[in-house]
Structure formats: C-alpha cells, structure tokens
Structure 1
Amino acid sequence: MEVVANADVAEIRSELRRILRSRAFQKANRSQRFLSYLVEAAISDPAVSVNEYAVALDVFDRPASYDSAVDATVRVEAGRLRSRLREYYLDEGQRAKVLIDIPKGHYEARFSLKEFEASAPDDMTIHQNADTVPVTPVSRMRSSATEQESGTGVRSRSISLRIALALFFCVCSVVGIEMFRDRRLEAKSSIHSMAVLPLRNLSGSTEQNYLAEGMTDELNTELARIPHLRVISHDSVVSAKLNGKSLSQIGKELDVDSVVEGSVFRYGDKVRITAQLTDARNDQQLWAASFEGETTDLIALQDSVAREIANRARLTFVLGPQVEGAPAQRRSPEAYDAYLRARYFLDRRDSKLSTEYFQRSIDLDPTFASAYAGLAEALEAALTLGMATPEAVKPRALAAAHRAIELDPQSGAAYAALGTIEFTQLWDWHHAEQDLLQGIQLSPGDSYPVAMYGLFLDAARRPEDAVLRMRQAKVMDPLSFWVARNLGSALYFAKRYDEALRELDRAKELQPDRSPVVDNWISWTYEMKGMRREAIQYDLAGLQRMRSADELASLQRTYQVRGWTAYWQLRLRQQTKEPMRECAAYERALDYLRLGERDRTIAQLQQAFDQHCFWMEMVEADPRFDQLRNERQFTALVRRIGVGQTKDE
C-alpha cells in the first residue's frame, strides 16, 4: 500500500474516523466535512494543492460567483477546524499514532507518525506481567534464509525454514492474542476518571455538615494529585442532581469510569469514614472499607482512604517527595476543624467567613500549608467580588501564597493561588503564567488551575488557546457552572459569538440562581452580534439585583420609546447616583463608548486603572474596545497594564 509522508493510508483513514467520532468533532458537521475533504484530497493526489475557491464550492456549497474578499466562510471554518484538531490531540487523541495537521495559511492535510523517545532494539522483548518472551526479528530470519542456497541440502533447508517460519508466526500469534486479551481486560478494568459523591453526614447534627463537605473537598484535592486521573470537581457532582439516580446513570452523566461514595460519622473525639469505590460502567463494587480514628488523625484517615482508592484504581498515588512513604503529618484537631469550616464557606463564596476560619487555622497551626493556600484563595476572591480593597488585602494574599509554597513545594493549590494573584492583582504576566502552569502540573486532575490559566490566556490575547484550555476544564468538570460560564466568556473573547451563547445558556441551566453573572455576558455577546433588543433584554435581567423596579421599568420604557442611545444615557445617570462600587469607572467607560464619547471613555478607563479594577486586565481582549485600537491614549494605557507580556523587562 502506498505511504503518504510516513503514514499508511489505512492508518490515516482509521485515525480520521476516530477524529470524526471524538467529542470535539461529534456535532461539528462543517468541520467533519471539511477535514474529510482535505484528507481524501491529500491521499488521492498529494501533488495537487487545494485552494480556497474549491473548498468553498465543494465543501460549503457556495455558488460559482464565490468571492473570498466578501465571504470569509472558508477562512473562519479553517480556523475552527484547526482549533478542534488541537482540542482532539490535547484530549482523546493524546495517544494517536497518526497526526493529521492543517498548516495555517494552507488548505491541505499533512500526515506524520508520532515519534517515540527511543527506537526498539534489534533483539526485541515483549513484556507481560514481568514475564519475558524473546522474539527474533523478522529481518534477521529473512537474511538467514538466503544462506547456503547451493548444494544438496538447499531444498530440505528451504522446507525446514518454511516450517520454522510457520511455527514462529503461530507462536507470535498465540502470544499476541494473549497479550491483546490481557491488555483489553486491563484497559477495561483500569480507572481513568472518577467522581467523589458528597460524603453523607451521619453524625446526627446538621452542624456537622461542614465536616462531611470539607472531607469531600479534601478527598477530591488529594485524588486530583494522581497523574493521569481525571477527578470531577464538587461543583459538577452537585450539579448532577443525584437524587434517585443509579451509580451507572451518574457515571454516564459525569462521563467517569468510577464513583466514590461514603459517609462521615463523628462521635465524641472519634471519626469514622466509610467509603466505597464502584465501577460505574457495570455497577460492580471494586472496594469498600471503613476507617476509624481520633479527631486528631483526620488527615491520616483521609490520606488512608485516598491511598486505598488509588491502589484499587490501579494507579500510582503521588503525594510529593516530602511525604512519600511517611505517615501523614498530625495536626491539631482545632486547626483542621477550622480549615474544614473555611473550605465549607469558601465553596459558598462567603469570602469573609472563609478568610476568618483560614486565619484561625493558621493561628492554631502556623505550619499548615493548605490553610495558607486556602487563605490566599479566599483573599483573592474577596478582591474579585469587591469586598475588600487591594491595598488592605493584596500583600496579605501574596504572603499567604508564598508561605504555602515554602511549607509544601508540591502544593498545586498554592501555585494556582499565587498565579491567580499575580494575574488578577499584580498584572505580573510572566510569573503568573509560570505559576499557573506549575499548579496544573502538580494537580493534574484539578480543573481550577486549568480554568484560571484559560482566563490568563484570554487577557494575554491568545483567545484560541484560551478556548482549548476552557474545553479541557470542561472535560475535567462537565457540569461545573463556573467552567461553563468561563468557556462562554472565552468564546466571546475569541469572537465566536454563537458558540458563546450556547455555553452561556448552558451555564444558566446548570445553576439558574446565578443567572445575573451570566446575563451580562449574554448581553455583551448579543451587542457584538448587532442584536440590540436582545442585548437590552439581558442587560435589564442582569440589573435586577442592583436597580429598583421603578428604575428598571423606566429603562425599559426609554428603550422602547426613544431607542438605544437614550437607554444608555439614562442608565449612566442612574449609575452616577449609586454609591461608588468597585470597577464603576470601567462600567461608565463602556457607557460613554456606546454613546460615542471617546475622550470620556479614555478618562474613565484611566480612573479604573488607577483603582486597579480587575476588568482592566481584559481591556485589550474585549472586542467592544476594537474601535479604540488606534487611539494613542488607549494603546498607551494598554502598555502600562503590560497586557500579554510574558518576559521580565
């Protein structure tokens, strides 16, 4: 069979079928047709290059009068196709043998075989459960068949050689079949993804709910440190609405192989944790156990549960070199109790109470790395929510993150918290990227640093990379409200407005009570699509908690009677009567921009910069400011923020 750029045609077509069935392409009909067309064209005649005009007519059914200067369909779809290919190889195609690439600026498929780190030796050995079966290379057997072809023994040697070859291939076939069967069984039983259901509180008091929820969070965190294991976050599990569903149904909805469920029972100074690991693909229980100890040993109990789950999942549990092979460090029960309470309130976006409890945990145990990392995260949340001033909180948050890393250099949560602070508060682009990537590396199963890195990439003007990272976070956390919302915002920044609306609508479906923090993004997306009526509708929805019923009615009447400009004039007047809020200047800048008052827009952006409004880090990425790109004052302001700089200057 003919070979195209080192890749066999049959292998190329097989890889194409896998790509078309993948999550990235499954519902993308246009990308499916486009990729299939380019692959078959390259296989049929590699010498013939495909041009944009041919693609427009053959793939997208454009008329013969197609003009690329007027209709950008092919270029837009080519960009989406390349993004989906990157997404596929980042996710399901990580182990693909054949790589299919569409180079930028071209409409031709290129193929290559993935290179391995080392080539196989001449005397190959097949390893199976520590037993070895030596296999003689076929090339060596062929060369021995040509020896001594003259003389009276040639015919008998030839027959013997054929018999030997037949026996050799029979043995190889048997060994291969056994290996295939064993590996298929191993692959089927191996666990690659997991969801931890909320541990039930059996203590007889709702006051102990924080203990069950905190232990669930901590178990998630520890399991997320296992390499190559995808652990679904608490948000996604809660969004799954578990009542009445079987474990197999939960597994399908969350797209996981296994489910952990259990309970926490606290009585006096003792705690019992009961846990069960179930294969969600067949409802088969893999392991169940009960762990009991003093309240002083909560970390040790939790560590034991995580280790046992990891072992049963046939994975290597990596805690980090500083504790590997050693018993978990004993903490004061009061410090760990305060820590669990802090996590409980942080999950509920109560930055005030979570900050107080993290600080209490640190006061009780100044060597508790996780408490410092949690404090840094809670303080950063307080800044983002406008509940604290940067001057009062920023140094404290930064110090907490650094102290967490000093105490535990293997803490992915600590690096993620530090990178987030450097990104949102310090605008230190270079170190923020380094630390967020370190957080991802140390906690490969945690979606939080992945999603935060996606936001960073948006601000750094790398929108397509941001979309890829957000989709990766979505795979890790399929039912997370915040991941869905942030994927929608990433698609907005990438100017993929229809896709953005789909993800934002999905976020609202996941948690309708959080609609206001989605409605604003939907409004902006409709605004960029030129759909003003819909933009006003969602802007009003997002204002419901901030304006009185009379003010909202007045805004709606104004738009209906006097139109777009009058609406924003009234909205601006209403805003100036409110108490000064965090980032109010940024909002006013956008209002002035809609009214065409560029000088006032720049002045308000300057004020937002002086107040270190967190929205300013996105000012270069936001398509609403496209009309200011050539304004000297705007570009000077962007340079002062340092947007997108990834090197120390």
Structure 2
Amino acid sequence: MQNAGADRAGSDISSPEEVQQQLEHILSSPEFRLPERARRFLEFVVTETLAGHRDYLKAFTIAQAVFGRDASFDAQQDPCVRIEAGRLRRELEHYYLTAGAADRVIITIPRGGYAPVFEVRQGAVPADMPQTGQSAALLPSGDDAQQIPPTAGRRSRDKTDRRVSRPRHWLAAGGAMVMITAAAAALQYARPFDTGNEISSGAVGRPIIVVERFESASGSGVASDISQGITDDIIEKLVPFNDIVVAAVLPRNRDGQLSSQPIYALQGSIRMEGETLRSTARLVRRADGTVIWANNYDADMKVQGLLQTQASLAEDIATAVARPFGVIFQADTANIAGNADAFSCILSYYSYRSEMTPQAQEAAKSCLRHAAEKMPDDSNIAAFLSLTYLDEFRFPYQLNTKPTAATLAIAKELAERAVRLDPKNARALQALMLANFFGNDPTEAMRAGEAAYASNSNDTEVAGEYGLRLAMSGKWDRGCELISDAVGKNAGPQGYYEVGMALCAFMRGDTQAAELWSRMSDLNYNPMHRLVLLSILGTLGKSAEAKEQIDWIEARSPALILNVRREVVRRLARIEDQERFFAGLKAAGLPVQNDPPAN
C-alpha cells in the first residue's frame, strides 16, 4: 500500500522504505556533490513528506529546522531557502543524468514549493534487485499532482519536474535520448570560420557549440517563427562568451574531416500552451552522445510580450550552457592531464579554481605559460594567465603565496596584452579590472569592469567579480545587485559569491542575514571567508562561535592575523566600511594590528 507522504509517487511505490532507501542511495553517491547543509535540506523534506507533513514544508519552517533561523525569519528579505532549493534541484538533476540514470525511484522538488515528489521509472526494478536494463520513461505524477500557481514572469523547470499528465522521456547519460531531427539553421557563425564551415585559426582549441534550430512542437506558424527566433537569439547571446566557439553547422578541417575539438550540440524545442511559452533545451556531447545538461523553461508572454519573452528564454539557456564553471568546463576535466592546448589549459584553470590548492594553481599556471608561448596572440590564454597571477593577491593565505610588485606587473601586462588582442574579450577586461584593483587604481578598475560587463552581461564570472569590486568600492546597491544576480544564476565556484552577499547584508546592518549568507559560503575556500564570518559573529555577540573561527585561523592561516588591517583596507575602500568590519573583529576578540594589545 502507499503511504500518505508518497501519495504522488505512482502505484509502484509500495512503502516509504523504498523512498528512504533511494534517499540514502543519493546521499551516499559521489555524484551528489552538495555540502552538509543541502543534504540536511533534502533529508528533512523527504522525511517530513513521508511522515505526512507535506503542508508543513514552507520556507519559514525549513529555515528554522535546517538553517537554524529564529522566529524573525522573513523569506521575502532573506532568500536563503529558495537559493538552496534551486541548488538542490540542479544537483538532483545532475545525479539522475549520471549515477542515477537507471534508478527506479525518482525524487524531485518541483518549483513553486519545497515538497518532494516521488516517481517510478517504468520497467525499472527496486534498488535492492539486480538492474537488467533501463527504461527511458517515467510515470506521470498522477491526477492529484501538485499544481504550481502561475508566476508573473518566466521560470525554469528542472528536467525531472513532472507537472504534465503525459509521460516524458528521461534523458539519461549514455542511455536512450530523444533527438531533434530538425536540420541546423543556416545562421552566421560566431567568431567566423574560414570559407565554408572550416575552423579558423583563432577558433582552434576552444570547445564548439553547434546550435541546432529549436523544433516547433506546436505545429502553428507562430510557433515555427518563435523556434527560429529563439535559435537566433541563443546564438546572439552565446557569441560574447570567448571561452567557446559558436556554430550553426558542424565545422570541418581543410581535409573535410570533422574537427577534433570538443563539439557539443545544443538542441531544443518550443511549444505554445495558451499564453505560456514552453521550451526544452539540452546539451549533447557529440563524441559519445551523452546528454551533459538538460532543462525546461516556462514563460508567461502576457508579462513581457512575445519578443522579450523569447529573448529572456534565450538568455537563460545561453547563460546556463556557457557560464564559467558550468557544464562545459566540468564535462571534460578528466582528459586534461598532460595537455597544453588552449582548451585544456582553460579547463585546468577552472579545475584549479574549484579545487583551490597550491598544487592545482601551479599546474594551471604552468599549462597556461606553455600555451602562451605557443599561442602568443591568443587573448584568452593571456587573460587566464593574468588571472592566475592575480590569484596570488586574491587568495594568498589559501595558496601560500607572497604577492610582490613584480607579480602584479606581470599580471597587469598580460591583462593589457589580452585587451589589445581583443578589446571586447570580457575575460581580458575582467583581468584588467582586478589588476588595477589590486594595483590601487580604483578608477581604472571600475572602467575596465564596466567595459567587461557591457561586453557580456550574461557572463556570471564577470558580473560577480564586477559586483564585488563595485560593492567594496562603496557602491553597495549596484554591486550587491550584480552579486545577487550572479548567485541566482548559479555562478561558480560553488560558495564563492555567497561571501559577497554576506558583506552586502553586513554593511546594510542585517547581521542575521549576513551570518546565514556567510555560512552558506564555502568557508574552506579562502581564509578571508572565515574572517568575514568572524566580524559578523563579533557584531552579533556570539563569542563562543567567534572563538572557534579564531582558533581555526590561528591554526591554519596565522599570517592572516598579522596582516588583517592591510587585507581589509586593500579590499574595502571606504573608511566607514573598514571601521564597521574592524569593530566586529575586535568584538569577536581578534586583535587588529596597530591597536594596543589587550591586558
């Protein structure tokens, strides 16, 4: 029989034990890559649903049970639960596209709420029985499936969201796939190839995304026009991402053979349902047919109108596909060892920034140096090498580096060269912004940051870093808006920009939200993250918790304590912001250099 909590699961789920077993299977999988807090989130909502407490799962109760918030929590002012739920949905999607591709029980958290839905893959066997094969279809949620209220604007739906009454196909990595048969549209290339569809020298080494025309599933003339329009818009939005090459047909070399570069096909479809425009999109690695990313999007055309809705969906899809630290830059990291081509070195950089160890940084720097020697006119290589040197200033206590004026001069020269080679390269302009920022030239730093953001506002790395520099220069409103937008778009590395949100809340006096954002950041990514939390805890008067952070810093990064004032002044431009930060540190019990020692 079915349990009350799993009433949407489908008739094949006979007991809560099967759902509980699937939960444990997910949590123990190496492909489920979320921190402990997100794991508690998933465990809490599944357990409460199985216990029949579905209606109890609101942002307020989750904030209290999982995040430890008190009765003053306001979901409108503090989006922590919504953001964490979004991450959880994306990670569940990743799990079911990889390790869970053949799992019998599917656990999803549909948008619009936090209550999970349990479904069964048709033809699959229970997890405690041998797997003899896998089915591509899932059961629908049932007639009593949760109804998600219409929203005012567009929303994205995870691939595992089953809110329609007919079965959909499960796009499993290495499994059966639904492939679009529409021919590629005859569109212009980004960073044009040579005659025909041949790769140009400037495009060699970068991953190629072939954008196929989105299929019209509605059959109407309007839908057909939209499918062409959204395809054009996606290409337009992808073009500014210098890390990739965008094409509308398969590129070939001078011998007529397919390029040996990594090639991905971006496929999708659109359909009209009343005033709702629904789009599916997926990214397929052509070498083996693996679907490495998939998502669904809904948009209400009454809000923005047809053209703006189409452009907004295209922006969402392009950003999800091409953003730094995104799927393309995670998919092939296992193949970079020993390579020194442009793409491998860029993968090495993203891998290092996610890992954040001195060994990974040195490996990325070495790769980029060799690539710069072979390709001195490659703007991207110069930009990434500049960023690698600049990281010695951004993360000295994590990477155990001693930044010098000579290092900064090398980084700035590389950034300037990258901009000369390609004045519209957002990554090059980002590097120039940081070089000027740490060179104590805020005016030029903001000018370069503004140009980088204007070049590609959909680049989450550019938006986040520019937002951080704006905020720390004292323009908190505009800077925090950009940081928040970057976090909302899942900017990476994971847990990096949340510390910016913590500073934003701290400087506006909302110390409770500041603490929550700080704890949502990756505290082990950079000792400076713990310094931010320490100042917040001191302001809140949480002496015992502050002492834990001081002990950690003293044990792992004692040099930071000796240089606290210098590091804070280097980052926070306004005196009032510095003093607020120092006051929190002093209240926490951390002596700040140049202050008399306590008796």
In our comparison, the structure showing a higher alpha carbon Rg is: 1
Q: What is the TM-score with the length of structure 1 in the denominator?
A: 0.39
TM (norm. structure 2) is 0.41
Higher helix share: 1
